[in-house]
Structure 1
Amino acid sequence: CTILKKTEGKYFFSSPLSVISNCQFRSKTARLKTFTANQIDEVKDPSGLFYILPFQKGYLVNWDVQRKVWDHLFGKEMYKVDFADTDIIITEPYFNFSSIQESMNEILFEEYQFQAALRVNTGALSAHKYFQENPSELCCLVVDSGYSFTHIVPYCRGKKQKEGIVRINVGGKLLTNHLKEIISYRQLHVMDETHVINQVKEDVCYVSQNFYKDMETAQLKGEENSIMRDYVLPDFSTIKKGFCKPLEEMVLSGKYKTGEQILRLTNERFAIPEILLHPSDIGIQEMGIPESIVYSVQNLPEEMQPHFFKNIVLTGGNTLFSGYRDRVYSEVRSLTPTDYDVSVSMPENPVTYCWEGGKLMSENADFEHMVVTREDYEENGHSICEDKFDI
């Protein structure tokens, strides 16, 4: 998440123009060429697409790739930035390593020479947005489920309660990789097709409201199996993007005469997102999201707990699975004392909710007191950032 703000108060981005991938790509059909961020749209054949990621397990470890993404974002190719006249809000993970923070400070202030910078957690921006929308509330519990991991973080009066922070090492990347393994074992070798299978996951997977009932339905034959779907894989020639066959066009024998390459999906549709709720299903010895929510709140003072249970906010890309909010609510409700109200909300756009919170924060009259200016950094070094940024 990156937000730029000009000194005069005008924003380069008044609303998110686009959400781009924070990585580089190489295609097997154009191995000598590297594509950066939204240049993936230029890849004619994304099959076998190789991802070069700056982040591993949520932490920034490949600065060369990250610089190239930022150069692409800040440079002439996208949004020409006048660094000396621009403030930046940039997010980082909870409990980030000090060595990564110091490198970030050096690049922002010494290499790009931004006028001012604010390093902040994504949850803090989401909480800021939530409190602006619900001014009568003092507490909220942000559940941020993204690419590498899921964080559950309680906020009270705008401050995170560190004793209640829970991290689950389950995110969208793990779900996509597990789906690749299942499809490769059952039907077709797709271990090199991360880009394609990630699209399959987003198009057909959903969170079940009754896992065992859906599992029974998925075992039925013929038209009684309402869960089964046929997914047409792209060939990047006549079919540029994969899609689900309409139910009325599905051939129960599984044999299509059109030459289309078909994936037949049944219990994979709901078993993959189920990992978010019960990671132990595939041998990951961690709590799922509902159990982690309850565990997080129970680590807080008892008099505060009711306020968090009734202000649970779901953000991040994994919230886009159909049925996600309802299932989280039902499981948290079953694990919570009956005398507590439980409310689980999901923003209209949970992917950009954090960005919207950052935009609101940058409009705050106190924003200039939150940031570290380049002059402050040049005078005090990393210590001024450690004092101001409560990461």
Structure 2
Amino acid sequence: MGHEPVIVLDNGGSSCKIGLAGQSEPYRVFPNAIGRAKGERQSFVADQLLSYRDASSLVLKRPFDRGYLVNWDVEKAVWWRAFKSLLQMQPQDCGLLMTEPPFNLPSIQASTLQMVFEEYGFRSFAAMPAQPLSLRAWAAERADLPAAAAGVGVVVDAGFSFTHAVPLCDGRVLWPAVRRVNLGGKALTNYLKELVSYRSINMMEETYLVEHIKDTVCFVSADLRADLAGARAGAHRLEYVLPDGVNEQLGHVRQPQPRERGKQAAADKSSREQVLMLNNERFMVPEVLFQPSDIGLEQAGLAQTIVDAVEAAHPDLHPLLYSNVLCTGGSAKCPGFRDRLYKELRPLVPDDIEVGVHMPSDPVLAAWKGASAFATSPDYSQQAITKAHYEEMGYERLLNLAPDAAKAAATGYYTTSG
């Protein structure tokens, strides 16, 4: 396969993380989207969205829908900018290691292969689920944990579209045991939009801005009743000053202002500001991950989902799996997430089994870091499909010749090594 550089792309529904194999951190993290300001024709692609002057006017178009890559026109624009403008590399001289969602559809895998080899001309390509890669990075970060060192654990991936509980053994996904909650960061953002639009200011068209507000002010409650009582007393009240399109791009948080008359200058400034009032929304939005019934979703909460996933694995693995529950994904960064998950999970597990709920140093970058390490190992060469092999056999012929082995060789999906 040669010694060509390998581009590592964690291709998430919300954001892309991109860099080169062997690096400790991705080169850039940027939205996996194209945005356009209301009333304007110019589009902003990927990292260009981060510097646009007024986030409140952006309308986004994403390549992912319900967790799967379906809009290749958007994705192609994002990838071309990432490869050519950000990394400044020619795909024809590189390999590509990319993450893909669990249970990715064969039709999407086929389209991905065609795009990678025919549109971009990469020399080699492998696609892997993010969860074993996250566990690989965690094993390097916490080599003192026996389960992590053995490649055993449950990766709780609180992503953009879904939240998965993925048990692994020896770095390999136990696919029959994987469980999913149909909630992710996108649903939480939509829920926050509905709440604030009903109670304060209409924000239904401000998805990009509300997503940022959610990431800034929300937290997971450790004691819901106490926090609800505190909210009634104003303990969690915050004011979010919305961007004005001139001085601020995303706005900022401030403590509630007193209702007294101040200096005229302060009053004039306040009158020009558009302020979003936030109170119990700050913790009721992430609460739905633990209580999906709050929004009418008839599914188990996150803790019970983990138990269901572990119970579907072999009983001999249960102690190791429960001892190494790893929280990853953007929603896992919400303050209080790990502690609340442990609090709910501990009573559901037998007393004689240790429960360990862990958080990597950066739950958003865990998969990319694991992929970066994997791409420098001999495993990548063994698992990746080369452009020559693709041109000789084609994806359909590979599947027809030996369905299981071919799919493993082409995508690394069913024989993932941690």
Post-superposition shift, 1:276? Answer: 1.1
> Which of 327, 331, 334 is the aligned partner of 1:314?
327
Aligned residues of 1:6 and 1:86 also touching (Cα < 8 A): no
Structure 2 counterpart of 1:87: 95
Show CA shifts across 1:225-244 (max 9, x none).
32111221111223333222
Which 10-residue stretch deviates more, 225-234 or 181-190? 225-234
> Which of 371, 386, 391 is the aligned partner of 2:407?
386
Paired residues for 1:1-391 under 5 Å: 7=4, 13=20, 14=23, 15-30=25-40, 32-75=41-84, 77-134=85-142, 136-137=146-147, 138=150, 139-220=152-233, 225-246=234-255, 250-251=257-258, 257=267, 258-259=270-271, 260-382=273-395, 383=398, 386-388=407-409, 389-391=412-414
Post-superposition shift, 1:42? Answer: 4.3
Show CA shifts across 1:150-190 (max 9, x none).
11101100111112101111011111111111111111111
Show CA shifts across 1:237-274 (max 9, x none).
2333322213xx63257998322222221111100010
Distance 2:6 2:413 in 1: 25
Give the partner amino acid of 1:18.
R
Distance 1:117 1:254 in 2: 64
Post-superposition shift, 1:58? Answer: 0.6
How many residues get paired? 379
SS of aligned partner of 1:276: coil
RMSD: 2.1
Gaps (5+ residues) in structure 2? 9-18, 400-405
Give the partner amino acid of 2:390.
Y
Aligned residues of 1:27 and 1:43 also touching (Cα < 8 A): no
Which 10-residue stretch deviates more, 121-130 or 267-276? 121-130
Among all aligned residue pairs of Structure 1 and Structure 2, give the percentage whose two residues are the same amino acid. 35
Structure-2-length-normalised TM-score: 0.86
Distance 1:41 1:315 in 2: 23
Distance 2:3 2:327 in 1: 30
Aligned residues of 2:55 and 2:243 also touching (Cα < 8 A): no
Post-superposition shift, 1:214? Answer: 0.7
Aligned residues of 1:143 and 1:313 also touching (Cα < 8 A): yes
Gaps (5+ residues) in structure 1? none
Give the partner amino acid of 1:159.
R
Give the partner amino acid of 2:37.
S
Post-superposition shift, 1:289? Answer: 1.2
Give the partner amino acid of 2:66.
K
Distance 1:152 1:171 in 2: 13
Post-superposition shift, 1:92? Answer: 1.1
Aligned residues of 2:239 and 2:253 also touching (Cα < 8 A): yes
Aligned residues of 1:28 and 1:47 also touching (Cα < 8 A): no
Distance 1:266 1:10 in 2: 43
Distance 2:51 2:226 in 1: 43
Post-superposition shift, 1:29? Answer: 4.4
Aligned residues of 2:56 and 2:250 also touching (Cα < 8 A): no
Given the superposition, is the C-alpha separation of residues 172 and 252 from structure 1 closer, same or farther in structure 2, using an over 3 Å criterion?
Answer: farther
Structure-1-length-normalised TM-score: 0.92
Distance 2:98 2:6 in 1: 18
Distance 2:206 2:260 in 1: 26
Show CA shifts across 1:30-64 (max 9, x none).
2x111111111343322231111111001111111
Distance 1:253 1:266 in 2: 21
Distance 2:260 2:311 in 1: 52
Post-superposition shift, 1:81? Answer: 2.0
Distance 2:324 2:360 in 1: 12
Structure 1 counterpart of 2:15: none
SS of aligned partner of 1:26: strand
Given the superposition, is the C-alpha separation of residues 238 and 145 from structure 1 closer, same or farther in structure 2, using an over 3 Å criterion?
Answer: same
Distance 2:389 2:381 in 1: 12
Structure 1 counterpart of 2:402: none
Given the superposition, is the C-alpha separation of residues 340 and 329 from structure 1 closer, same or farther in structure 2, using an over 3 Å criterion?
Answer: same
Runs of 4+ in 1 over 4 A off after TM superposition: 8-12, 252-256
